[in-house]
Amino acid sequence: MKGYESHTYGDAFADVYDDWYRDLSDVDALVALIAEFAPGRTLCELGVGTGRLAIPLSKNGFAVTGIDSSDAMLERLRATDQQQVITTVSGDMVDDMPKGPFDVVLIGFNTLFNLESQERQQQCLHACSRALRSGGIVVVEGLAPTGQPDGGTVDDVSLKSMTATNVVLSVSRHLSAEQLVEGQFIEFTEQHGVRLRPWSIRYSTTDQLDEMASAAGLVMTARFHDANRAPFDPATGRHLTVYMLDK
């Protein structure tokens, strides 16, 4: 998408993220899962955003470092984390990855796919490996597209929400050959007029993800549908995978 940069998503969604995505996943279940698999309690979250996951993790005994390229997101996080328990880093989650060592690197839902190419996603997993202590884990949540790209393009326009004073339309395009899905939420409000909220992901299949993880010295130890540990089924369209540093 022309003009789309690493911070674009965060800057566009910071003011509505908590309201729109509070039910994206079962946070309590995710905290419990990470606590079970983690060898310790130091954790780095990539794309920490407003702290939807980081704050509950910190309240459950994790020492959390969060990195995000959007200052708007980090400002929201700092406003909520008034005791400044979470260490925040403004920067790119590949090039500015904190050194650690960490017991856990958490890459929440589709955050890895915000990186615009498979090369950058591979670099990210290598950076995760370098930041982990021996036996540390990487937890990845994401889409689980079925099959391989067929080269087609699918456009979609749908209604996301509607109230007496607010209408949100979703416009998206899936470029399967590029494994790219990009779109806009177009928000119409009586008070503020029109607001555009762009987003873009370059997804990887679970097979591709496993290959990249292996190249980074990571071994898959568990894969579920989500944090509630329902069995993984590619047809469900999502996954939660736990990788361990193979050292």
Model confidence pLDDT, tens digit, residues 111-163: 999 999 999 999 999 999 999 999 999 999 999 776 555 678 889 999 999 99
| CA dist., res. 34 & res. 242, Å (int) | 9
| Closest CA relative to residue 57, chosen from 69, 47, 43 | 43
Q: What local confidence, expressed as pLDDT, does residue 146 receive?
A: 66
Residue 119's H or E segment, with its range, is helix 118-131
- Mapping DSSP onto H, E and C, the string for 11-34 reads HHHCCCHHHHHCCCCCHHHHHHHH
Is the per-residue pLDDT at 223 higher than 90?
Answer: yes
Q: What local confidence, expressed as pLDDT, does residue 148 receive?
A: 54
Q: Which structural domains are found in the chain, ordered by start?
A: 8-145+203-245 (3.40.50.150), 153-201 (2.20.25.570)
Band (228; pLDDT cuts 50, 70, 90)? very high
Cα-based distances in Å from 144 to 80, 234, 237 = 32, 6, 5
Q: What local confidence, expressed as pLDDT, does residue 147 receive?
A: 55
pTM for the full predicted model: 0.93
Residue 191 burial (CB count, 10 A): 6
Mean confidence (pLDDT) of the chain: 93
Strand order in the sheet with 180-189: 153-162, 166-175, 180-189, 193-202
Strand order in the sheet with 102-107: 87-90, 63-68, 42-46, 102-107, 132-143, 238-245, 218-224
Distance of alpha carbon 228 from the chain centroid: 17
Amino acid of residue 165: T
Kindly state the average pLDDT of the residues 74-98: 94
